[in-house]
Amino acid sequence: MPVNFRTHAHAQGYMDLNFIIPEIIERVDFKKGPYFANTGDFSLAGTSSMKTYDTLERGFVEVTVGSGDEIRVVVANSFSTEQGSLLYALEHQQTNGMFGLDQDVRKYNGLLKYTGEIGGIPSQLTLTAYDSEWISTNQVPQRAVASGQIDRFGFIDPDLGGQSHRYSLSGRFELGEWDLTAYASAYYMSLINNPTYVLNDPINGDEFEQEDERLLFGGSLLRKGAFDFLGLQAASLVGAEVRYDDVQELNLFNTRSRVRYDSVREDDAQELSLSAYAESEFMVSEKLRLTTGLRVDYIRFDVEALRPQNSGSDNDALLQPKFGLAYRLADSLEFYANYGHGFHSNDVRAAVNRIDPITGEDTEAQDILVEGRGGEIGFRYDNLRGFNVTLTAFELATDSELVFVGDAGTTEPSDPTRRSGVELNAFYSINDRLVIDFSAARASGHFRGLPDGENSITDAHENVAAAGLSYVGTQGITASLRVRYFGDAALTEDESVMKEDSTLVNAGVSYAFGAWEMGIDALNLFDAEDDDIAYFFESRLPGELEAVEDIHFHPSNPRIIRAMLRYSF
């Protein structure tokens, strides 16, 4: 089931992961680049997928308490049925957070998963439910902190926050050589935001509500096989996908103290996508593998807007070739190269908009599907004794990117871009108990067609790195230490305003004895005063006579301590 939302009230491709219960995730798989035929929308740079456990070795009750009045309870177990097994998990979390304004988070999650046979067909059915509400402290202007009006963890508008729920049913069925998946989801979100304070309306303020309500349906059909081609052994992958978003509420309201007083947009949209793909991997020799793939995506949509001029329907399609090769230089060393086309979709309203609903000015229609092209070359080394390393050089060019606009609280299409760089990943199992992992990347990103010195992609970090150390002891002790580094980033295209670099360190230790386990985690161990996000735009605070360009930032959480107690049964 896809997680990214198309044509969302807050942002195209918006993703909310709060429905996930981490303790139930068995595996997370990553793919990087547009080189895989079975990945489509929003996978240009990469994609990830998660698999939940089918069964648990032992049920458990886990309680976590932490800084900011945090309390979290998770209960999970699995048991056998006549035709298979049933797993359930429940989560409740509440916290006030570490900022000056209490978050008053109330989150509820539930999961029920059946694995077994239905009518003699090997099947899986998963039911999930998520409900949450919160108060938020969004980015604040640097000048308000510098003047002493607020501290780093202060707020300007106390009314920000939201509520959301998501209920889904998904299934997977093995039909001989074919795998069939199907899903249905009901989703709602209301989000109150105010990034510019009183810039546009000194009397009522600039507070607004983004509302999204939809039904999501879809599925896929997949077949893996093997065949001979001109005497070459080959593995094949063919599949098809369908997705239908019935967006019933796609709204933007002006609000005052969370009360609506004016409607900017009240739209609905229906978006259907159909996809088909095929991929083959050929063993040319004992050392050389060649991969070819082809994917086609078709999207059709219809928009009913509050302004009739912004209503309409359209469709588009895109063909995407994929190529790859891998050559084994030695038993432990492999060279590889990949090239592929991919895409991301745009908010379909942008394809039929004729009038800006805020300014009333004419607007230019945007493409529905935006193509990108990527390539990489690299080396993989694995000595099969616990040490592996990958070194890759890559480039990704897109006809347009989705850029988050801080003063509007949404995304907008950009000019064409090009990103290129190198990436290093390493994993070393020192012994049965101690593991080290490290990853680092250096990349540059620029808008194409703009003058040098005025073409930097904003909020694109040139240098990033992460490393971790994990230890599993003999007496029930486990420990971990992780560090994450983000280099500085341009906040303006000419790099005249920069976001500072940041380094965060997390650590944890736990001790298991019998059916019990206790642990403690320290997030932001050294209490670094870094920023999670930063934007540069105009805003106007109450009492100011005119707009001011400023950095607006959201600080990282200060040091958080969490204590956990688990009982397994």
Q: Tell me what the mean pLDDT of segment 33-58 comes to.
A: 96
C-alpha torsion sign, points 247, 253, 255, 259: negative
Q: Residue 9 gets which letter from DSSP?
A: S
In whole angstroms, how far apart are CA 362 and each of 66, 97, 200? 51, 43, 20
| pLDDT at site 28 | 96
Please check the confidence at residue 407 and state whether its pLDDT lies above 60: no
Cβ-based neighbour number of residue 441 at 10 Å = 18
pLDDT reading at 408 higher than 60? no
**Tens-place pLDDT, residues 142-171:** 999 999 999 999 999 999 999 999 999 999
Distance between CA atoms of residues 111 and 130, nearest Å:
9
CA–CA distance, 528 with 400 (Å, rounded to integer)? 35
Mean of per-residue pLDDT scores for the chain:
95
Mean pLDDT of 10-22: 94
The dihedral sign for the CA sequence 343, 349, 355, 360: negative
251 has pLDDT over 70: yes
Q: Provide mean pLDDT across the span 375-380.
A: 98
| Ranges 59-68, 238-247, 407-416: which has the least confidence | 407-416
pLDDT band at residue 413 using 50, 70 and 90 as cut-offs: confident
One-letter amino acid for residue 212 of the chain: D
C-alpha span between 196 and 406 (Å, rounded): 9
The two beta strands, 387-398 and 417-429, are antiparallel
- Which conformational region is residue 475 in: left (phi greater than 0), alpha (psi within -120 to 50 degrees), or beta? alpha
Domain ranges of the chain: 22-568
Residue pair 188/216 in contact by the 8 Å Cβ criterion: no
Q: Is 47 exposed, middle or buried (0-12, 13-18, 19+ CB in 10 A)?
A: buried
Find out whether 397 and 373 touch, Cβ atoms under 8 Å.
Answer: yes
pLDDT digits (tens, 9 = 90+) for 297-335: 999 999 999 989 999 999 999 999 999 999 999 999 999
Q: Look-up: residue for tokens 């983004």?
A: 210
CB 159 within 8 A of CB 257: yes
pLDDT beyond 90 at 56? yes
Q: Mind spelling out the 3-state secondary structure of 516-545?
A: EEEEEEEECCCCCCCEEEEEEEEEECCCCC
Strand, helix or coil for residue 349 = helix
Q: 3-class DSSP state for residue 143? A: helix
Q: Report residue 404's pLDDT band, with 50, 70 and 90 as the boundaries.
A: low
**357 alpha carbon, distance to own chain's centre:** 29
Chosen CATH of 22-568 out of 2.40.340.10, 3.40.50.170, 2.120.10.10, 2.40.170.20: 2.40.170.20
Q: Evaluate if residue 84 carries a pLDDT over 90.
A: yes
Closest CA to 299 of 216, 242, 239, 364: 242
C-alpha count within 13 angstroms, C-beta hemisphere, residue 403 = 25
Question: How far is residue 414's CA from residue 490's CA, in Å, rounded to a whole number?
Answer: 16
The percentage of residues in the chain with a pLDDT greater than 90, rounded to a whole number, is: 91
Per DSSP, the three-state class of 351 is helix
Greatest Cα pair distance, the chain, in angstroms, is: 79
At 560, the pLDDT band (50, 70, 90 cuts) reads very high
What SS3 string covers 76-142? EEEEECCCEEEEEEEEEEEECCCCCCCCCEEEEEEEEEEEEEECCEEEEEEEEEEEEEEECCCCEEH
C-alpha span between 33 and 338 (Å, rounded): 9
- In whole angstroms, how far apart are CA 388 and each of 138, 150, 331, 381? 41, 48, 13, 5
Burial class (CB in 10 A: 0-12, 13-18, 19+), 15: exposed
What 3-state DSSP class applies to 385? coil
Q: What is the mean pLDDT of residues 175-203?
A: 96
Q: Which residues pair with 140 in a beta bridge?
A: 553
Indicate whether 414 pLDDT > 90: no
How far apart are the C-alpha atoms of 233 and 231, rounded to whole Å? 7
Segment 81-90 shows an average pLDDT of 95
> Please, which residues have CB within 8 angstroms of residue 390's CB and are 6 or more apart in sequence?
378, 379, 380, 381, 423, 424, 425, 426
pLDDT in tens, 98-129: 999 999 999 999 999 999 999 999 999 999 99
Whether 32 and 58 have beta carbons less than 8 Å apart is answered as: no
The per-residue pLDDT for 357 is 80
- The tens digit of pLDDT for each residue in 512-543 reads 999 999 999 999 999 999 999 999 999 999 99
State CA 297 to chain mean position distance: 21
The amino acid at residue 287 is K
Per-residue pLDDT tens digits for 272-300: 999 999 999 999 999 999 999 999 999 99
Helix (H, G, I), strand (E, B) or coil at 322: strand
- Residue 562 tokens read as 């969490």
The pTM of the full predicted model, rounded to 2 decimals, is 0.92
In whole angstroms, give the CA distance from residue 324 to residue 146: 53
Contacting residues for 359 by C-beta, under 8 A, at least 6 apart: none
